[in-house]
A and B are shown apart, each in its own frame.
Chain A
Amino acid sequence: MSEANIRIYINDSLHTVAAGTTLAQARARFCVGTATAILNTAVNPRPETVLHEHDRLYLFAHTGTYTDTDLSALMLERQPREATVKLRGACIGIAGAGGLGSVVAENLARAGIGRLVIADHDVVEPSNLNRQRYFLRQLGLPKTAALANTLRECCPFVQVDAVQETINADNCVRVFGSCAIVCECLDAAESKAALVTALRRQLPDVPIVAASGLAGCGSARSITVRTVSDKLYVVGDQHSDSAEGPGLFAGRVGIVASMQAHVIIQLLLEQQI
């Protein structure tokens, strides 16, 4: 190859262009009509920006129709590619699909986790809608099936295994045995304690990201990640109990759920928690 050429990725395909090629020139050559350009995760940098060897350029033409391959790449173009590749190879278990689980599932699906195993026995009820990611049209449906449908609408490349069962010590290995990490998203304190204990004993190498203390309207600053060991993390304020009547609000429950999803992504990307 001539030294006057460089190789860049355009929509994940390797192309050879002349050294000194600008974004505007690449856009004119590789894309017809208007398009959003994303260069190494930056949106629409200046047209005169000069491209470099191994740059990653995505040209998101505003046609409204995409091939599957393009869509998969385009949806995750704001994440570093190395992270996306790691997340795509992961399988995560989610025990419970309520206020925590439905938010954790959406966060992980949007980040491009390859496979989610979601277990819950419940159906969608009106009282869920103040904080759980369901819709009026899904009232009465099993939560796992409803959530799987929602995730297919926003993230069609994520495989979702919907397990319509009450998760407990007897079935947790069968359900979550193939998962790299399990997220505890149950409601009752006794169920949480029993599941975490069972998972830690029966799947000792699988990290668990649990939640405790998310009820009411207390300060968001009181919510932390407690590292019990390198196999058990607990997100929450550790004391706000829904059984004492403070209520459950979308914001605070969602903060805990998003922190659980974040810890899972950190673990998969081998980041310091």
Chain B
Amino acid sequence: MKLIINGEEHLFAQPPATLEALFAALSIPAARTAVELNGSVIEQHTLGATPLQDGDRVEIVSFVGGG
């Protein structure tokens, strides 16, 4: 499976079925991220119910603390 993550192509031998599975595979804490899938904003609590397909574009903004 090919995904475009933050503008870069990534190939997955074991395709993540959902955004939640993708986050687990990349070890990204979902609660600290803002996510867009093909331009649509996805709420954190729906990541497990959001399926991924070959060629999807995922934008992940990982926030760290400080302000």
Contact = CB atoms under 8 A, between A and B. Distances in A.
B43 A197 contact: yes
A228 B61 contact: yes
A190 B67 contact: no
A111 interface: no
Contact of B44 (A96, A99, A193): A193
Interface in B30-67: 31-36, 39, 41-44, 59, 61-67
A211 B63 CA distance: 8
Contacts of B61: 193, 196, 210, 212, 226, 228, 232, 234
A192 interface: yes
A187 B39 contact: no
Q: Which of B36, B59, B65, B67 is the most central at the interface, judged by chain A CB atoms within 10 Å of its CB?
A: B67
Contacts of A241: 64-66
B66 A214 contact: yes
B66 A190 contact: no
Given A228-B36, A232-B34, A212 B43 contact: no
Contact of B34 (A96, A193, A238, A242): A193
B12 to A, nearest CB: 22
A187 B64 CA distance: 9
B34 A187 contact: no
Interface residues of A, number: 39
B67 A193 contact: no
A248 B36 CA distance: 30
Interface string A201-216: 1001000001111110
A5 B12 CA distance: 75
Contacts of A201: 41, 43
Given A196-B61, A228-B59, A248 B66 contact: yes
A190 B31 contact: yes
B34 A211 contact: no
A269 interface: no
Which 10 pairs from chain A and chain B are nearest by CB?
A: A242-B66, A241-B64, A187-B67, A189-B32, A200-B41, A192-B63, A189-B63, A215-B66, A242-B65, A243-B65
18 contacts: A99-B66, A185-B67, A189-B64, A192-B67, A193-B61, A200-B34, A200-B36, A200-B41, A210-B61, A210-B63, A212-B64, A214-B66, A228-B36, A229-B36, A236-B64, A240-B64, A240-B66, A253-B67
